[in-house]
A = this chain, B = another copy of it.
């Protein structure tokens, strides 16, 4: 493993220590729980708290979206493992100001279980928690079984929208309604060109043969839906735009947010080459791009590959997307 780490068993500790030192103007570690980070603006005014959480190895996700007008507290798991119920619960306690907490997270068995347990604990404290479970990955189950689909990079748009609603002073029900709409309007798909290795394991999670690409690969190396000979950026964009656009379906004259994310070791140059093809295909379809994000927004350790997420906008979602945020992963000026 050509890696820049110390003890392979302590990568989360070491990363977190560096992260918090670097971004102390944005967030801090909870004094109750070393696996919970809290935005410095979490209690800057009375409002609904926004919580998320997930396994590590996806940086900037999840802690990179903790900050002003986005996520207030994040529960941190081991590499590719759910945070504990206790950590989710401690997040709820950190951010609740009596107006309730919106827990906006991705659809994985461990997270579902631990959020549920954490909500039972919170209930004993009279903290009201409601959830939105992201399931934007079109490759992970058929359209008719959306409840089985995984949450992937589209979660970032859900957090952006939920955080904006909370910042505007919306009630918990309103924050939940619009966050749910955000994910219902979002579809994602990934392509993998290489595997990744959990440092403590020391060998690749799965295999992608050189000269091939795997569509629909999950953020932890969950198997994709098809392996093909490695194509051009245009080939990849074409397959992926079709899969995403046909699923929603997106319509001519729709306005969308485009989010293209590298999976960890994908050079940024290549991400723009890919984005250029996506833009051409959407323009051909008469779909208008309102805003684009291109970069390493939601990664899988050192996996090589790229994900595409599209969110169909209405005026309410657009206003949320426009709101300023200040996080490590996303800075948007007023």
Contact = CB atoms under 8 A, between A and B. Distances in A.
B275 A232 contact: no
Nearest to A301: B267
B6 A268 contact: no
**Overall SS of chain A's interface:** mixed
* Contact-size category for A: 35 or more
A193 B21 contact: no
Interface in A228-281: 230, 232-234, 236, 264-277, 279
Contact of A299 (B18, B234, B267): B267
A292 B17 CA distance: 14
A15 B301 contact: no
B268 A265 contact: no
Interface of A: 2-7, 11, 14-19, 21-22, 56-57, 59-60, 193-194, 210, 213, 230, 232-234, 236, 264-277, 279, 292, 294, 296, 299, 301-302, 304, 306, 324, 326, 331-334
Closest A-B pairs by Cβ, 5 of them: A18-B276, A265-B265, A18-B272, A4-B270, A331-B331
Given A264-B267, A265-B267, 7 more contacts: A4-B274, A6-B273, A15-B273, A15-B276, A21-B292, A56-B269, A268-B299
